[in-house]
Structure 1
Amino acid sequence: MIKRNIVSKILPWIGKQKIIILKGSRQVGKTTLLNVIKEKILGKDKQAQVAYLSADDIDNAPFFSSPDALETYLKQLYGFPDKYIYLLIDEFQAISQAGLFLKNVFDRHKGNLQIIVSGSSSLAITKNSEFLTGRAINFDIARISFLELFNYAGQTEAKIISLGDFKEIGLFYRTFSGRLNLLFQEYITFGGYPEAVAAKKAEEKKVILESIVKVYLEKDVINFLKVENITAFNQLLRILAAQAGNLVNARELSNTLNISINTLNKYLEILQGTYLFDLIRPFSTNPRSEISKMPKAFILDLGLRNYLLKNFDYLEPERGALAENFVYLALLEQYGKDQINFYRKLGGSEIDFVIDRGRGKTLCEVKYRSQVGEPLAFKNFSKKYGGFKLNKLVITKDLVKEENGVHYLPVVMLPFIRLEE
């Protein structure tokens, strides 16, 4: 089994008077995580009562028809409420008025029941969250990270290295560069869906990715979210996949797809809300200015990108774009979307990523080649925003060095580095 780093963050909340919500795309391993949580609970107390129900299963629909029906089920099978119950619910967004339902159950029985749920649509989860304010703790479940893939492939547990420890960074890279580069090629080709990662053959991985897309379109897009113009939606998927890392021009896209701006914005919201793409905003000290400018799109799984573009083989010309998207995923793992922006000025000055650390900013530029110097945009940013403490980072193909306050790191090393010194 692939060890997930998120587990150590979830476990301290077990047994607390909080609903635990695991959010993430279909097939990222949320059900597996629920089973891991169950094993951890039973490992600590073999007599613990753990109930599991999938709200996606039509056979379980009667148990979710009302809080009373669920309580009756738990009473008959698990001795509730005399016994404390851990209730695990998979795909909880399938419950009618899920937020209100969970609120009612929680408020009645929070002293002898903990509810742990998974959900595949942040749109539905957000809609239901108003009922769960103060009652729930949320965890975003991503696909397998490159760090997790490295540990799984080598049956090791690599330690995170501080950016300030360049001697250790260089030693780690020299020791593992062969393995890192092989895994990088695999990761940017087939991505991080757990089932695809575990599959041994390339053709198996492709079939798995095809299945994931088909289930997503059928269950989430058509059946659950009721998207009617599926042709335009599919075209948008492929356009964004081909242009990952580029600006999203809403008017241009709406004209290309022959749909209204409102419909396009709805589709973009769906793609973000179902964990396929992120849109990040340009850096600005004026929040109003930041919102009004065009965002950049990044896909949240590179295997998914290659499936949508029907290209798993000839990726060399796209290495720069793939490396930039890979860097975004690594930064997302460490910082979260809300802290990541990009910098772009009318004069052409650009920085791929600006990480917001309050009074400090990390500037990150991706240059997927072996020889590179400090980007001019770093100097321009320093002049314009001299009041910030700046951390400067250039992501390269294989260059490791520190020069004039700029850190140069191979792209494969970023997931192993703690950027805060």
Structure 2
Amino acid sequence: LDHSGKNTILFSPDQELDTPYFKSPKLFFNFLSDQYLLENKKLYCLIDECQYLPNASLFLKVIHDLSHGRIKFIVTGSSSLDLLKIKEPLTGRKIEFTLERFSFREYLRAASEYKYDHLFKIPQDIDALKDFYEIYRKDLEYHLVSYLNWGGYPEVCIEKREERKKKYLGEIVTTYIEKDISQFFRIENISKFNSLIRLLCSQRACILNRSEVSNTLGIHFKTLEHYLSILEGTFIITLVRPYYTYVRKELTKMPKVFINDTGIIRNYVGMDFQDLKSVEGNLIENFVFTQLKQHADINIFYYRTVSKAEVDFILKRGQWLIPVEVKFRKRLTVPVVMKNFISTYKEHVEYGILLSQETFDQIDQVYILPVALADFLEFG
């Protein structure tokens, strides 16, 4: 993921990938041997944006094998599509990490005066969670509105001045999405590509009907599929599949589309919310998704019946299922479809979660929690 802070973590080297010793693995190995005397030492080599290195997987494999594992690479890239090309030849030789944008809790650590190191197991810590919300509610809601407006790109998050936030966010979209992605994947019709992003931003947290999108934008179905795979592979969007017990049905049904950062939505469709009450429901749902996806051990689905009743998210962890619904209405009741899901899958569902604007309650097996707490939950 670009602009997520990889360079800050890596302190990446000044050398560019087109320097002479990158021409072949042997030359690079000889260069490292000459400069760093590798005989009995381990060397850690950092390469940023590795997708630009031709035949990167073979290059890294040859050097790894020549050095008998003494050279350790820390390699970054902004596209999972091209990093996929690196993975296969390096089986057994690599550990992978995905560096996400700031989650809401990470943003709070950068923006708030309070420490936010808390995590609460549901349902065990529900009383402690309620006390926590009562203490920090105003601060949480204030910063949540800012996070919804600006998203989680670190450079944008840590900047205090609004004009600079706009500038940084605009530069990220211009350089990464409209320039780097378009050029790297040789997208011929950049205008249509940008129109697709704008359309997806306006339809965030909605079911993606590819045929309708293809007709609306006037692009071929295969081109649309190609563009969607690029946007998902470069961490701009995530497509969430419906939950079914039969995998074949899951793969053939339409996914829901989520934008992986609300700052991108702001840049493409414009928005500026002053308080939590004015935030649109589908943006809140999109926010909830971005926080849930931080849990690496959880698979996320949505649930939809034949009659089109829907549960926003189904979290799957091993054999356990957790239905999650987002509701911002004043009068809160547990949706019938959620009750039915819990009943149907009762052997695998211990509880459900309904995320509200500010309500804290419990109805049978469903915990009603304020949405500002979405990133503080640890699912037991």
**TM-score normalized with structure 1 length:** 0.85
Q: Secondary structure at the match of 1:187?
A: helix
Q: Secondary structure at the match of 1:237?
A: helix
Query: Is 1:322 aligned to residue 283 of structure 2?
Result: yes
- Distance in 1 separating the partners of 2:65 and 2:126: 52
Match of residue 97 from structure 2: 139
- Distance in 2 separating the partners of 1:176 and 1:318: 20
- Distance in 1 separating the partners of 2:113 and 2:64: 42
Residues 147 and 31 (structure 1), Cα distance of their counterparts in 2 relative to 1, 3 Å cut: same
- Distance in 1 separating the partners of 2:186 and 2:59: 23
Q: Which runs of 5+ in 2 are unaligned?
A: none
Q: Secondary structure at the match of 2:73?
A: strand
- Distance in 2 separating the partners of 1:375 and 1:218: 41
- Distance in 2 separating the partners of 1:232 and 1:32: 33
Match of residue 309 from structure 2: 349
Query: Is 1:248 aligned to residue 224 of structure 2?
Result: no
Q: Percent identity?
A: 35
Cα deviations by residue, 1:334-383 (Å, 9 ceiling, x for unpaired): 246x7100001121221000011232200000002443121111122134
Matched-pair contact (CA < 8 Å) for 1:369–1:398: no
Equivalence map 1:174-189=2 (5 Å):
174-189=134-149
Q: Secondary structure at the match of 1:137?
A: coil
Query: Is 1:95 aligned to residue 71 of structure 2?
Result: no
Partner AA of 2:139 in structure 1: R
Offset of 1:81 from its aligned partner?
Answer: 4.2
Partner AA of 1:26 in structure 2: D
Match of residue 417 from structure 1: 377
- Distance in 1 separating the partners of 2:367 and 2:139: 23
Matched-pair contact (CA < 8 Å) for 1:359–1:389: no
Match of residue 266 from structure 1: 226
Residues 134 and 111 (structure 1), Cα distance of their counterparts in 2 relative to 1, 3 Å cut: closer
Offset of 1:310 from its aligned partner?
Answer: 2.8
Cα deviations by residue, 1:207-244 (Å, 9 ceiling, x for unpaired): 11110011113543232111111111000000001111
Paired residues in the alignment total: 377
Partner AA of 1:91 in structure 2: E
Matched-pair contact (CA < 8 Å) for 1:359–1:388: yes
Q: Secondary structure at the match of 1:206?
A: helix
State which drifts further: 317-326 or 91-100. Answer: 317-326
Aligned Cα root-mean-square deviation (Å) = 1.9
2:321 is matched with which residue: 351, 361, 368?
Answer: 361
Match of residue 211 from structure 1: 171
Q: Secondary structure at the match of 2:207?
A: coil
State which drifts further: 220-229 or 71-80. Answer: 71-80
Matched-pair contact (CA < 8 Å) for 2:273–2:279: no
Match of residue 301 from structure 1: 261
Query: Is 1:112 aligned to residue 73 of structure 2?
Result: no
Offset of 1:313 from its aligned partner?
Answer: 5.0
2:4 is matched with which residue: 10, 24, 28?
Answer: 28
- Distance in 2 separating the partners of 1:384 and 1:69: 62
Equivalence map 1:140-155=2 (5 Å):
140-152=98-110, 153-154=112-113
Partner AA of 2:302 in structure 1: F
Matched-pair contact (CA < 8 Å) for 2:45–2:71: yes
Match of residue 356 from structure 2: 396
- Distance in 2 separating the partners of 1:191 and 1:117: 26
Match of residue 236 from structure 2: 276
Cα deviations by residue, 1:180-228 (Å, 9 ceiling, x for unpaired): 0111011000011010011111111111111001111354323211111
- Distance in 2 separating the partners of 1:265 and 1:130: 24
Residues 129 and 418 (structure 1), Cα distance of their counterparts in 2 relative to 1, 3 Å cut: same
Partner AA of 1:27 in structure 2: H
Matched-pair contact (CA < 8 Å) for 2:178–2:194: no
Matched-pair contact (CA < 8 Å) for 2:312–2:324: yes
Partner AA of 1:126 in structure 2: L
- Distance in 2 separating the partners of 1:137 and 1:311: 39
- Distance in 2 separating the partners of 1:94 and 1:234: 23
Match of residue 22 from structure 1: none
